[in-house]
Amino acid sequence: MNSSEEIAVSGMSAGRSAMRMGPAELVQAAAMARRFYLEGKSKIQIAEEFGVSRFKVARVLETALERDLVRIEIRVPAELDAERSDALRARYGLRHAVVVESPADAEDSPDPENLGEVAADLLGELVEEGDVLGLAWGRSTIHMAAALDRLPPCTVVQLTGVYDAGTAERGSVEAVRRAAQVSGGDAHPIYAPMLLPDAATAAALRNQTGIARAFEYFDKVTVACVSIGSWEAGISTVHDMLSDEERGHYASLGVAAEMSAHLFDAEGRRVGRDLGERCITVKADQLRRIPEVVAIAGGQRKAAAIDAVLRSGLVTSLVTDTSAADSLMTAGPTPKPALSRADPDGS
């Protein structure tokens, strides 16, 4: 995931300007540059080896760069777009933004599978031993868990119920199990649907022993992984679970996005809060207190929804693709920095 630096140290072929240095100077400069850039020695160590002052070593290294004796290239894997990533991070005030090249044949498809692979690598960097990792329902989260190959020992907890209890084995429950298996830590899955018929049924389920035990970990989560959905069929799990009448009701409130069964308008304000009373999910204020919340979402069709959720301040980091990133960079006024974690609607 990190950028890698390629250091090319050459000698007599360093170019016309470098040839103005005498042969002895060239050889010494090349040797010092090799010690510093390739072998990781300090300027003081190099000075002691060559019997000169560290100030001379600094001048030689500076001259080697100026005269093209040393060339430094910053390179990232081809599938990562470093420029877009940095621009997106700065625009939204994110802690991390990783932009992946959109597949040529699926630029408009939501959540390309390669997002999950990159997110898995990112979690491998962010999660530390002893952390509590929270995973919310989402296709991208499931893809991420399947791609995990390294995690330090940590506890893994499910943050939402499942889309359909009948799919638990291959859905978010399996994602939690997979992450715990990779890390060697404890797993706390939730065997319950995300959306219930009414608030009373949801409250009763929350009090069941296994579910209550998972809920006890919500305030201890240090890193969370969530998905984002647009308010349209096939791109929002919650949208698909509701009746036509309910969809119309929430649409009338200006819903533009959903994340973990929380609804947001285009400005990132939460709307339709009554829905949460019927859902098995982590609360928005609990998400806001989690130090690192990584959202995985991409595709041009999801760009407006991603923008809305980022404006909410609930997310600190984002893994997305170039298709969504290009839309996000022109999505209205520059938003308030996410790292302030301020609640835009004051709740």
What CATH topology corresponds to 23-67? Arc Repressor Mutant, subunit A (1.10.10)
Q: Tell me how far apart the alpha carbons of residues 136 and 142 are, in angstroms, rounded to a whole number.
A: 9
Q: Which of 310, 277, 274, 276 is nearest to 293 (CA)?
A: 310
DSSP summary character for residue 79: T
The predicted pLDDT at position 339 comes to: 52
Q: Which residues contact 346 (CB under 8 A, 6 or more apart)?
A: none
In the chain, where does the domain assigned CATH 3.40.50.1360 lie? 80-340
Q: Tell me how far apart the alpha carbons of residues 335 and 310 are, in angstroms, rounded to a whole number.
A: 8
- The type of residue at 211 is I
**Would you say how long the chain is, in residues?**
347
Computed from CA positions of residues 73, 76, 82, 83, in that sequence, does the dihedral angle turn out positive or negative?
positive
CA distances, 188 to each of 159, 174, 212, 218 (Å): 9, 11, 10, 11
Alpha helix segments (H runs only) across the chain:
23-33, 43-50, 54-66, 82-92, 113-126, 139-147, 172-183, 199-206, 209-216, 237-241, 244-252, 284-289, 303-312, 322-328
Please state whether 237 falls in left (phi above 0), alpha (psi between -120 and 50) or beta: alpha
Per-residue pLDDT of the chain (347 residues; tens, 9 = 90+): 444 444 555 443 444 444 456 677 788 888 898 889 888 899 999 999 989 999 999 999 988 888 888 877 665 555 788 889 999 999 999 999 999 988 766 556 666 778 888 999 999 999 999 999 999 988 888 889 999 999 999 999 999 998 764 444 457 788 999 999 999 999 999 998 899 999 999 999 999 999 999 999 999 999 999 999 988 877 777 888 888 898 889 889 999 999 999 999 999 999 999 898 999 999 999 999 999 999 999 988 899 999 999 999 999 999 999 999 999 998 777 776 555 566 656 44
Q: Which of 293, 332, 263, 318 is nearest to 118 (CA)?
A: 318
What CATH topology corresponds to 80-340? Rossmann fold (3.40.50)
In the chain, where does the domain assigned CATH 1.10.10 lie? 23-67
CA distances, 150 to each of 121, 213, 345 (Å): 8, 26, 38
The predicted pLDDT at position 166 comes to: 47
- The type of residue at 282 is V
